[in-house]
């Protein structure tokens, strides 16, 4: 995106909405509709099986297909997803991470097919491809959880992909270093800047040291590094964060990598404002939150985002409808085209307040970057659990402030009286729902795909992939061969799993600091826990489980930390567990209550499996509770299926939740109320 001189009106940023669901055909229809409304870029949301490298018929994919994004299992799905959309003219962002190389290979293959169908030069078309693959595995270990492989092989996949794109798809951003999810996991502005830059250093060092890019081409690599940030509602602080981010990136790329071209050193970033900061209570308040958060990344011209996607007002309730996404797009268009925002130089230059805040963030970030480098860099800081425990502790402190009323959340912990919302009027379909038949259709479709493809060619491509994975050769060409041969997402990742192995990241719970607030209330609940333990003759134990593929573990980690602080013995094994694994752990550990966390919409499928599994194991007397983004109708269905309690984001008082869990355990064990 060219930057005009200060006397010219700035060009609007690329406008996107994060979208995709059900199937490639349904998502293609949605993309075309959004482009017709003036959207200038596409942002593809993939479903969790695709993000974690599974096909729709895998056991772990049950209940997850098409829920939080579109399933893309092979090149046929990618063709359908972009049917009628010329990729040489598109600007596409793909949130994919661990299988980023695979999805880009599918995208490139479809672009080649389009070029050949139109009689155009393939290399010319590839040279025009613009967009971004979110390909930041470090933050996946720290926050979002859609990792597959250990850090070393994951960094190799990123390095190979960057090297290949620099030579073959020069306008593509092969990595989107994503601090967005770090903020959701508890990162302060200082953490967000520091850990994102530590990741960038790890990636650039790996590319430089791989020998795949000449020293003279490192400026090209730096110029294609993009970032994806979070903007919270404290927009002065957030805007200062972005100015600090911009200045530190310029400093690091000049000093550490010797990039002399000032244009190549620009911080190039896209943004989505804070989705997990949106509230289920009085969700209409989310509209003004979204607008204020957008201002944080647009007001300062020198640190302005070059791509923005806004969530919808009702994302805390479930999947947004097309109308909700249209509203989010119109917010961007009003700001860009009706106001005079783009007509002026940076209006914050010379502000003493802003300059002081920027320096504060820069100083803190430099110190944290140095600390991580002393530990051995970002990868080592992930493997040791250092960065994760920092985020868990920071989020615990944030929650403490919210519970104490020191951080006001309008409509949640203050000003919570409300009138009925016409946006959620009786009979109104407030969220998009995915037809349960979608998963069955996807399973049938992939079975048919395997029947019709050339199996010999597919198996040959997979053999080559496994062979190359055991060497230091770049993996992208072998991945392209798999894409063209009709290999599936699960087969590609399965081949690499066989060579690289899988990984389970530290949870950060054991190293998290104890809550420093609400001591009296915590002590009261701890006394109830102690008394109940004495009456049962053993320490009260809770299993906190994450069934299915949902990797957003922030809530589960905070529940685990608060349960520990109130005296429970906590069994928490991290993310991505099957119902069978959860049942086995509950029985083996002899827990008194099972708490499940599900944010992906698969609760009606995976939660009953845990209940049924406990019954089959002779442990049906263990109460099960559930937390997550669960609509009221679904909560009623879960209660009817025997769930003892359902908690949603409006239930923010964790100590109060612990108190309720003690009551549930006492009732389940026939103990008198106290």
pLDDT at 657: 93
CATH of domain 515-669: 3.40.50.280
pLDDT at 540: 95
- The answer to whether 278 and 289 have CB atoms below 8 angstroms apart is yes
Looking only at Cα atoms, what is the longest distance across the chain?
79
pLDDT at 7 over 60: no
Sign of CA dihedral 138, 141, 144, 149: positive
pLDDT band at 515 (very low <50, low <70, confident <90, very high): low
pLDDT at 550: 84
Element holding 18 (H helix, E strand): strand 18-19
In this prediction, what percent of the chain has a pLDDT beyond 70?
A: 96
Helices H / strands E in the chain, number of each: 26, 15
Q: Classify 14-416 by CATH class.
A: alpha beta
pLDDT at 304: 94
pLDDT at 499 over 50: yes
Q: What is the mean pLDDT of the chain?
A: 91
Q: Angle 531-535-541 (CA atoms, 0-180°, nearest 5)?
A: 75
- The residues annotated as belonging to the active site are 18, 180-181, 546, 550, 552
Window from 12-16, 572-576, 579-583, 662-666 with minimum mean pLDDT: 572-576
- The answer to whether 396 and 226 have CB atoms below 8 angstroms apart is no
pLDDT at 514: 56
pLDDT at 1: 37
pLDDT at 428: 56
pLDDT at 513: 56
Please measure the distance between the N-terminal and C-terminal CA atoms of the chain and give it in whole angstroms. 64
d(CA 494, CA 612): 30
pLDDT in tens, 306-348: 999 999 998 888 778 888 989 999 999 999 999 999 999 999 9
d(CA 487, CA 495): 11
Domain ranges across the chain: 14-416, 515-669
* Contacts by 613-617, CB closer than 8 A, 24 or more apart: 613/579, 613/580, 613/582, 613/583, 614/583, 614/586, 614/587, 616/583, 617/583, 617/584, 617/587
In 427-546, alpha helices (H): 437-452, 455-469, 476-484, 489-500, 519-536
DSSP characters for 396-449?
HHHHHHHHTTSS--BTTTBS---PPPGGG-TT---SB---THHHHHHHHHHHHH
Task: Report how far Cα 598 is from the mean position of its chain's Cα atoms.
Answer: 14
pLDDT at 516: 54
pLDDT band at 2 (very low <50, low <70, confident <90, very high): very low
d(CA 655, CA 517): 11
d(CA 42, CA 31): 7
pLDDT at 651 over 90: no
pLDDT at 430: 66
pLDDT in tens, 416-463: 888 888 887 655 566 777 788 899 999 999 999 999 999 999 999 999
- Write out the two tokens for 558: 């905070």
- Write out the two tokens for 554: 């922030």
pLDDT at 281 over 90: no
Q: In what order do the strands lie in the sheet with 593-598?
A: 569-572, 541-545, 593-598, 624-628, 645-647
Q: Is 352 exposed, middle or buried (0-12, 13-18, 19+ CB in 10 A)?
A: exposed
Task: Report how far Cα 611 is from the mean position of its chain's Cα atoms.
Answer: 28
E strand intervals along 245-306: 269-273
How many C-alpha atoms does 574 have within 13 Å on its Cβ side? 17
pLDDT in tens, 202-261: 999 999 999 999 988 999 999 999 999 999 899 899 999 999 999 999 999 999 999 999
pLDDT in tens, 114-152: 999 999 999 999 999 999 999 998 999 888 888 999 999
In this prediction, what percent of the chain has a pLDDT beyond 90?
A: 70
What letters, b where the CB count within 10 A reaches 16 and e where it falls short, cover 10-42? bebbbbbbbbbbbbbebbbebbeebeeeebbbb
Among the ranges 495-499, 644-648, 669-673, which has the highest mean pLDDT value?
495-499
- The answer to whether 404 and 517 have CB atoms below 8 angstroms apart is yes
pLDDT at 3 over 50: no
pLDDT in tens, 250-268: 999 999 999 999 999 999 9
E strand intervals along 100-248: 130-134, 172-173, 175-178, 225-231
pLDDT at 185: 85
pLDDT in tens, 565-624: 999 999 988 888 889 999 999 999 999 999 999 888 888 889 999 999 999 999 999 999
Over range 91-112, report the average pLDDT: 96
Write the CA distances from 580 to 295, 555, 584, integer angstroms. Answer: 46, 22, 6
pLDDT at 518: 67
563: alpha, beta or left, given left = phi > 0 and alpha = psi -120 to 50?
Answer: alpha
Over range 387-399, report the average pLDDT: 88
Sign of CA dihedral 174, 311, 236, 181: negative
pLDDT in tens, 150-193: 999 999 999 999 999 999 999 999 999 999 889 888 899 999 99
The radius of gyration of the chain from alpha carbons, rounded to an integer in Å, stands at 25
């Amino acid at each position: 995106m060219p930057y005009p001189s200060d006397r010219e009106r700035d060009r609007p940023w690329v406008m996107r909405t994060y979208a995709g669901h059900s199937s490639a055909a349904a998502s293609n229809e949605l993309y075309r509709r959004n482009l017709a409304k003036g959207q200038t870029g596409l942002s593809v949301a993939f479903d969790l099986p695709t993000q974690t490298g599974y096909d729709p018929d895998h056991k772990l994919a049950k209940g997850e297909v098409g829920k939080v994004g579109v399933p893309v299992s092979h090149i046929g799905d990618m063709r359908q997803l972009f049917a009628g959309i010329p990729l040489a003219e598109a600007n596409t962002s793909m949130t994919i991470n661990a299988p980023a190389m695979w999805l880009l290979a599918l995208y490139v293959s479809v672009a080649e097919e389009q070029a050949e169908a139109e009689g155009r030069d393939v290399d010319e078309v590839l040279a025009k491809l613009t967009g971004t693959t979110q390909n930041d595995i470090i933050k996946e270990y720290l926050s979002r959880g859609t990792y597959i492989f250990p850090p070393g092989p994951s960094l190799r996949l990123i390095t190979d992909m960057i090297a290949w794109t620099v030579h073959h798809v020069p306008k593509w951003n092969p990595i989107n270093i994503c601090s967005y999810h770090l903020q959701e996991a508890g990162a302060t502005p200082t953490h967000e800047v520091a850990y994102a830059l530590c990741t960038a250093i790890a990636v650039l060092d790996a590319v430089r040291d791989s020998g795949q890019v000449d020293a003279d081409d490192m400026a090209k690599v730096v110029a294609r590094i993009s970032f994806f940030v979070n903007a919270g509602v404290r927009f002065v602080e957030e805007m200062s964060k972005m100015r600090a981010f911009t200045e530190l990136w310029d400093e690091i790329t000049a000093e550490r990598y010797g990039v002399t071209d000032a244009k190549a050193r620009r911080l190039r970033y896209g943004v989505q404002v804070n989705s997990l900061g949106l509230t289920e209570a009085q969700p209409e308040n989310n509209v003004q939150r979204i607008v204020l958060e957008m201002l944080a990344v647009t007001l300062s011209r020198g640190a302005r985002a070059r791509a923005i996607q806004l969530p919808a007002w009702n994302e805390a309730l479930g999947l947004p409808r097309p109308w909700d996404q249209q509203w989010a797009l119109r917010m961007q268009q009003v700001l860009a085209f009706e106001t005079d925002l783009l007509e002026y130089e940076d209006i914050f230059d010379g502000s003493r307040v802003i300059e002081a805040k920027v320096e504060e963030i820069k100083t803190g970030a430099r110190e944290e970057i140095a600390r991580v480098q002393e530990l051995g860099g970002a990868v080592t800081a992930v493997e040791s659990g250092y960065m994760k425990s920092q985020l868990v502790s920071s989020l615990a402190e944030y929650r403490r402030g919210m519970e104490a009323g020191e951080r006001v959340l309008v409509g949640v912990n203050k000003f919570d009286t409300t009138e009925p919302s016409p946006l959620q009027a009786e009979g109104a379909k407030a969220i998009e729902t995915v037809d349960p038949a979608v998963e069955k259709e996807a399973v049938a479709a992939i079975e048919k795909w395997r029947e019709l493809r050339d199996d010999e060619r597919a198996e040959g491509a997979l053999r080559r992939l496994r062979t190359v994975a055991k060497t230091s050769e770049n993996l992208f060409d072998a991945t392209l061969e798999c894409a063209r041969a009709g290999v599936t997402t699960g087969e590609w990742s399965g081949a690499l799993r066989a060579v690289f192995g899988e990984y389970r990241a530290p949870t950060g719970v054991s190293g998290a600091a104890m809550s420093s607030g609400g001591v009296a209330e915590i002590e009261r609940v701890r006394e109830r826990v102690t008394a109940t333990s004495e009456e049962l003759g053993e320490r009260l134990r809770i299993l906190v489980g994450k069934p299915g593929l949902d990797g957003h573990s922030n809530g589960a980690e905070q529940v685990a930390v608060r349960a520990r602080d109130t005296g429970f013995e906590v069994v928490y094994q991290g993310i991505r567990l099957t119902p069978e694994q959860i049942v086995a752990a509950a029985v083996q550990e002899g827990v008194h209550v099972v708490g499940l966390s599900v944010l992906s919409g698969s609760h009606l499928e995976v939660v009953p499996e845990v209940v049924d599994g406990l019954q089959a194991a002779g442990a049906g007397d263990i109460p099960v509770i559930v937390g997550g983004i669960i609509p009221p109708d679904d909560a009623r269905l879960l209660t009817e299926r025997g769930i003892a309690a359902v908690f949603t984001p409006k239930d923010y008082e964790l100590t109060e939740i612990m108190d309720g869990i003690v009551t549930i355990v006492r009732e389940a064990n026939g103990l008198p109320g106290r």
